[in-house]
Amino acid sequence: MKNFLIAMLSGFAGYILLACLSYFLIGKFSSNSHDRSMEAGMTSIFVAGPIGLVVGIIVGYVWVKDWF
């Protein structure tokens, strides 16, 4: 249960971290001039965030398994 909880917390942290980073990078470097903020928001929430979630869960689970 402890491994699962830490993996989920690291997954949540990965989601937030990658979504925020994606929002910043897309907002800064996107060539879309009409709705750049909408593109950044939707891509961050629906593409980069879930990727960060999966990577965070995997990293958290492996990290916990090595420590405990």
12-68: per-residue pLDDT in tens? 999 999 999 999 999 999 998 899 999 999 999 999 999 999 999 999 999 888 776
Confidence of residue 9 (pLDDT cuts 50, 70, 90): very high
CA 36 vs. chain centroid, Å, equals 20
Q: How many domains does the chain have?
A: 1
Identify the residue with better confidence: 41 or 2.
41
List Cβ neighbours of 35 (8 Å cut-off, separation of 6 or more): none
The residue segments making up the domain with residue 26 are 2-67
Rounded to an integer, what distance in angstroms lies between the CA atom of residue 32 and that of residue 49?
21
**Joined tokens for residue 23:** 């929002």
Closest CA to 23 of 11, 2, 41, 7: 41
pTM (two decimals): 0.88
